[in-house]
Amino acid sequence: MKYEIEPYEEDKQSKQQLFEKEEAYIRAKKKLDKIIGFYWHLAVYVVINLFLIILIGTQQDDGDSFWSFGTFATALFWGIGLAFHFLGVFGPDFLFGKNWEERKIKELMDKESQDRPKFE
């Protein structure tokens, strides 16, 4: 025989690696979809609220104040909802990071050990 073709065999380890890669891809895709959804929400919030504020500002009578609560009420309450959406997508660890507490404790301990007078 001129050509010998051997059957393709995958070992268990490569199947596990492929599964883990696929699982990681699916998690990353879901996270990306959440981020895109938040940015769309933010864009709609900005456009609609600018439109409403401009509309209210141009339709007011001469005696009415532009800087009243009613002018900005929609933006305020929708903004609260948008803030919760932000926390749902990026999580509370966005500002401080996942290891913030451990890093801060280590930093404070290091500072204390440097500031403490050394007795020899």
pLDDT in tens, 33-53: 999 999 999 999 999 999 999
In a domain, 76, yes or no: yes
In a domain, 83, yes or no: yes
40-78: burial string, b at 16+ Cβ within 10 Å, e else: ebeeebeeebeebeeebeeeeeeeeeeeeeebbeebeeb
In a domain, 2, yes or no: no
- For CA atoms 46, 51, 54, 57, the dihedral sign is negative
Mean pLDDT over each residue of the chain, to the nearest integer: 86
108: containing domain: 18-59+71-115
What's the pLDDT score for residue 1? 56
In a domain, 120, yes or no: no
C-beta atoms surrounding 90 within 10 Å:
14
In a domain, 54, yes or no: yes
- Number of folded domains in the chain? 1
In a domain, 65, yes or no: no
- Whether the Cβ atoms of residue 66 and residue 48 lie closer than 8 Å to each other: no
Q: Which helix (H) or strand (E) holds 100?
A: helix 100-115
What's the pLDDT score for residue 83? 95
